[in-house]
């Protein structure tokens, strides 16, 4: 009965969409029905490689399980951004940004996701994590494997109506499960190898796929399932996606997993560590030495680098320093613009944020195929 009611409600919504086919035209500005109640708009698209999002009656269509991943990933917020961005990246391999519109997950509620993430027990038969075996020993207990589970919907447009075109499910497994032996006691760790985590998630993925197929709306759409491995809480980068599978409409078990080879590093590398390409690490270290002594007080220079296989996919550089005037900020930023172009690896997207104890002060970025960095100094009247 409940499912039926939802269906009627959806069918009754007058989906007024200005664009059709080419999504780049379906932005707000061409949509005259923006104030009508029940109307659907799209957010507009920043670049061709971003999905537009769905706005209902002037409000963003938030996820039915809004906030669950947020809470689950509070131990290391890098995981949150990394997990959700990674889900978008995997989705783009299957659902083209030119054809599909992004919608926050509408089929799994907070309660459902929370139950799935809990341990299986008599009172929680849908739990995807193993039952509590009673042990408090780091190596003998059953750890919590699955830390987060998120749904993203991909919509297609036809005759100015949106309909579900596919779903992506991200399953995040722990590399370390943090637990307490007593309520306010110390935190202990159970380590989970990549192989263990991946195997557990793959098996859970089959269960999830079967459950999703029981929902009538999800019976006949492709469902992508991607497995992510969380970084530990002390990491300065997020984790990474290990494998994904595209499951054709109607299929109830995963037939094939495609491996992903994306890995994240922090620069400077810690001693003994190596990155897939040592040139990038030395480029960064040249840049760092040009920058850190710019002022009499030392500036901190670190970076997150992402690799796809052996090749650098992008870099987020983080610079912190103490400024003593607005003109120092302006001139430092100008210096970074030329220095970054000279020293940092070319051909990949890079951004640089410059912060002081008062927060961000300036910001530079360069898109994949550009040569020059653009810059912005944050200002105030």
CB of 25 to its own copies, least distance (A): 12
Q: How far is the CB of 265 from its own copies (least distance, A)?
A: 9
Shortest Å distance, C-beta 288 to its own copies: 13
Element (H, E) at 292: helix 278-292
**How many beta carbons lie within 10 A of that of residue 298, not counting itself?**
12
Structure tokens at 253: 């078990």
285 contacts its own copies (rule: CB under 8 A) = no
Should residue 52 be labelled a site residue for its own copies when binding is judged by CB under 8 A?
yes
Among 177, 208, 170, 197, which Cα is nearest to 83's?
Answer: 170
**Angstrom distance (rounded) from CA 204 to CA 5:** 30
What is the H or E stretch that residue 333 is in? helix 326-343
Q: Which is nearer to its own copies, 211 or 263 (CB)?
A: 263
- Among 169, 281, 305, 354, the residue binding its own copies under the rule CB under 8 A is 305
CA dihedral 145, 151, 154, 155 (to 10 degrees): 160
DSSP 120: P
The answer to whether residue 157 forms part of the interface with its own copies (CB under 8 A) is no
Subset of 19-48 contacting its own copies (CB under 8 A): 27-29, 43-46
Q: Half-sphere exposure of residue 166, counting CA atoms within 13 Å on the CB side? A: 23
Nearer to its own copies, 126 or 379 (CB): 379
State yes or no: residue 96 binds its own copies (CB under 8 A).
no
Is position 287 an interface residue for its own copies (rule: CB under 8 A)? no
Q: Does residue 308 interact with its own copies by CB under 8 A?
A: no
Q: Any bridge partners for residue 134, and if so which?
A: none
Q: How far is the CB of 356 from its own copies (least distance, A)?
A: 11
- Helix or strand run (H / E) with residue 283: helix 278-292
The minimum distance between CB 323 and its own copies, in angstroms, equals 8
Residues 348-367, interacting with its own copies (CB under 8 A): 351, 353, 358-360, 363, 365
Residue 272, token pair as written in the block:
């003994």
Nearest to 368 by CA among 346, 348, 339, 354: 348
Interface mask toward its own copies for 75-94; x: CB under 8 A = --xx-xxx-xx--x------
Using CB under 8 A as the binding rule, whether residue 184 contacts its own copies is answered as no
**Closest CB 168 distance from its own copies, rounded Å:** 11
With respect to its own copies, which residue has the nearer C-beta, 190 or 275?
275
Give residues 212-271 in contact with its own copies (rule: CB under 8 A): 237-238, 264
Is the Cβ of residue 252 or residue 320 nearer to its own copies in the bound state?
A: 320
Number of residues near its own copies (by CB under 8 A): 74
Six token digits for residue 174: 């722990």
Closest distance to its own copies from the beta carbon of 132 (Å): 29
Which of these segments, 17-25, 195-203, 272-280, 319-327, binds its own copies (CB under 8 A)? 319-327
Q: Which of 43, 47, 48 is nearest to 26 (CA)?
A: 43
Kindly report the three-state secondary structure assignment for every residue of 34-103: CCCCCCEEECCCCCCCCCCEEEECCEECCCCCCCHHHHHCCCCHHHHHHHHHHHHHHHHHHCCCCCCEEE
CA distance 81 to 4: 35
* Shortest Å, Cβ 326 to its own copies: 4
- Work out how close the CB of 320 gets to its own copies at its nearest, in angstroms, rounded to a whole number: 12
Decide: is 309 part of the binding site for its own copies (CB under 8 A).
no
Stretch of 178-186, 219-227, 272-280, 288-296 contacting its own copies, by CB under 8 A: 288-296
């Amino acid at each position: 009965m409940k499912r039926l009611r939802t269906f009627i409600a959806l069918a009754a919504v007058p989906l007024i969409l200005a664009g059709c086919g080419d999504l780049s035209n379906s932005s707000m500005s061409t949509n005259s029905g923006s104030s009508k109640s029940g109307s659907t708009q799209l957010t507009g698209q920043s670049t061709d490689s971003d999905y537009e999002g769905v706005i209902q009656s002037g409000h963003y269509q938030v996820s039915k399980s809004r906030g669950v991943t947020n809470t689950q990933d509070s131990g290391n917020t890098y995981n949150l951004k990394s997990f959700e961005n990674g889900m978008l990246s995997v989705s783009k391999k299957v659902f083209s940004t030119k054809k599909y519109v992004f919608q926050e997950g509408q089929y799994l509620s907070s309660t459902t996701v929370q139950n799935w993430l809990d341990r299986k027990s008599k009172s929680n038969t849908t739990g995807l994590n193993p039952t509590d075996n009673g042990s408090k020993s780091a190596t003998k207990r059953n750890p919590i494997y699955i830390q987060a589970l998120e749904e993203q919907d991909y919509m297609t447009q036809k005759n100015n109506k949106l309909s579900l075109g596919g779903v992506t499910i991200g399953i995040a497994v722990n590399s370390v499960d943090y637990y307490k032996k007593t309520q306010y006691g110390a935190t202990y760790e159970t380590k989970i190898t990549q192989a263990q985590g991946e195997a557990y998630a793959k098996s859970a993925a089959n269960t999830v796929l079967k459950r999703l197929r029981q929902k009538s709306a999800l019976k006949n759409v492709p469902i992508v399932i991607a497995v992510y491995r969380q970084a530990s809480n002390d990491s300065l980068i997020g984790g990474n996606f290990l494998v994904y599978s595209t499951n054709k409409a109607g299929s109830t078990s995963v037939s094939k997993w495609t491996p992903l080879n994306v890995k994240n590093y922090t620069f400077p590398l810690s001693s003994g560590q190596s990155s897939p390409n040592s040139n990038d690490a030395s480029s960064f270290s040249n840049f760092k030495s040009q920058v850190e002594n710019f002022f009499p007080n030392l500036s901190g220079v670190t970076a997150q680098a992402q690799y796809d296989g052996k090749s650098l996919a992008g870099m987020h550089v983080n610079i912190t320093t103490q400024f003593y005037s607005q003109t120092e900020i302006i001139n430092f930023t100008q210096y970074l613009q030329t220095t970054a172009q000279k020293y940092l690896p070319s051909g990949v997207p890079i951004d640089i944020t410059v912060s002081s104890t008062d927060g961000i002060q300036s910001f530079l970025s360069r898109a994949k195929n550009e040569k020059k960095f653009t810059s912005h100094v944050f200002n105030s009247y």
